[in-house]
Amino acid sequence: MLLTLKRLFFILLTISYMAFIWIQSSYFDPESLVGFTSFLSHYVLLTIGAGLEFAHLFQFGILYLCIVIVFLSYGRLRKWQEVTAAVIALSYGIADELHQLYVPFRSFSIGDLFKDIIGIVVFWWVVHRSYFYKKSSKIGHWLRNIT
């Protein structure tokens, strides 16, 4: 019973995170930021913009990690599951970019997809190395304890 609840929790967490990504990318209005330009320095605005761009690297990497955690809740992680998690995360990134074609003030961006891919690859590398090769790593230990 506890194992089933744990799996359900991880599945719902992943679906909720996917919904968060979708909703967050659906609501952006640059006009709402115009008020900030009068009292924030250009350096601060540039930093905020860079942070939002940098968030792409984490957003889909975290999605990849969530999917891996779902797989881990069913047992030991296999390499094909790593690939499946990466394909699902990337496919969701593509779907999100296509969805943005229909959102006012948003557009499809190859640059954003590239950032999504980088985030997924970085998270894959950390998970793969920690889980399969670095038996003493804290991340690997944490991942193996999910099983």
Per-residue pLDDT tens digits for 48-92: 778 877 887 899 999 999 999 999 999 999 999 999 999 999 999
C-beta of residue 103 within 8 angstroms of C-beta of residue 25:
yes
CA neighbor of 78 nearest in space, from 16, 117, 128, 136: 128
Q: What is the pTM of this model?
A: 0.88
pLDDT at 136 over 80: yes
Length of the chain equals 147
CA neighbor of 68 nearest in space, from 89, 91, 96, 95: 89
The tokens for 29 are 């209005």
pLDDT of residue 61: 96
Chain position carrying tokens 């967490």: 13
CA neighbor of 63 nearest in space, from 95, 103, 108, 31: 95
